[in-house]
Amino acid sequence: MRLSAITRTVEYRRPVRLAIQTGLAGLATFAIGHALGVSELSWAVISALFVVQASIGGTLAAAAGRIIGAALGAVLGLAWMLAGGTETIFLTGLGIVLAGATTAYISGIKPTLRYGAVTSAIIILSPSSDPFAQAWHYAAAIGLGVVIGTLASVLVFPWSARRGVDEELGRAVRRCGDLLAACLGALMGRDANKLAPIHSDIRQALGDAQAAAGPSRKERLRRASNAPEPEALIRAVERLWHALLLIDRTDTGPLPEAPRRRLEPYLEAATEACCAYLADLGEAIASGDRPDPPELVHQRLEALQAALEEIRRERVTVPLPGQEAERVFTLIFAFDQLNQDIADLARLHTARLNTAP
């Protein structure tokens, strides 16, 4: 297999990339720590293994939390030892409880600092004649592991959290196009794919994008400060999905024959344009490319809106039962909202590209 093929495999398969980063971080920490004669080598290796996260932003957050948490735990452990809190089993146990409770309270506010409880407990359980030297050895080992783990994340097949956000949002947008096509099939009385799996995929992609948005903030120092936040793009995709949910809710069976016959060519044309554009827009978001303006989408949706308004003016829905007429009016609102949401999403993504360094 060519090197480029291997690189693409590792780059685009995040679990493989994370495994390679973590393995190299542990191996490098063990080799360097052994060469430097680090006394607490196990602490260094464990720190390196646990600091490597799925993205650069996640690793930076974990590294900062591990260092600050370890420092906090070391201070609490040292304070208890200097106060004579390890002279008896009772005092040792009490120190573990107090230090653990303190770090747990702090980590409840700042979860990344939860490692402090481990550091304080180890120091209290391993009394030394020179507690300051002991704490320094622990801190040096942790610092070495954190630095090497961070370098592995940054230098070995680096993956930014922003890229993860974009990939998941691109997947969600593409699935929105699939959802619209499935909804049209149901409205026109054709066999339609089940919509629940598509909704589940969109929900999962948005959840993954939201989870990656937090670490992506750690990377924003390397970007223009006026770039739109990733949450803004996530909300835009959510609004797009909600517009499609309105169309989905009209799917209680085929549309009544009279409005369906009038609307079918416009619905077909609008859906075809929207699905094609959402597929292209999803790819553009995932790859960081500039999307084309949604001009054809606007033209087709405006033509559909005009047809819907004409049906309403001609009172085509008057002979229909109230629930069936309501479905037609819901479509008027839903497609108008869809038109706006597609335009907003394309505008936000383009704004992100324009403000990128």
Q: What is the pLDDT of residues 58-108, one digit of tens each?
A: 888 888 888 898 888 888 888 887 777 667 788 888 888 888 888 888 888
- Predicted structure pTM score: 0.67
**What is residue 182's predicted lDDT score, i.e. its pLDDT?**
86
- For residue 280, give both structure tokens: 């292209």
Q: What are the C-alpha distances in Å from 265 to residues 300, 352, 353? A: 10, 36, 36
The per-type count for the chain, helices as H runs and strands as E runs, is: 13, 0
Cα–Cα distance for residue pair 162/229, rounded to 1 Å: 10
- For residue 222, give both structure tokens: 């390397």
Residue 6 contacts residue 20 (beta carbons within 8 Å): no
State which residues of the chain have pLDDT below 50.
1-11, 222-224
Q: What is the dihedral of CA 87, 88, 94, 100, to 10 degrees?
A: 60
What residues contact 194, with CB distance under 8 A and at least 6 apart?
Answer: 182
- What does the DSSP 8-state code read for residue 191? -
- For residue 13, give both structure tokens: 């398969």
Category of 221 on φ-ψ map: left (φ > 0), alpha (ψ -120 to 50) or beta? alpha
Cα–Cα distance for residue pair 243/278, rounded to 1 Å: 14
**What is residue 191's predicted lDDT score, i.e. its pLDDT?**
59
**What is residue 190's predicted lDDT score, i.e. its pLDDT?**
63
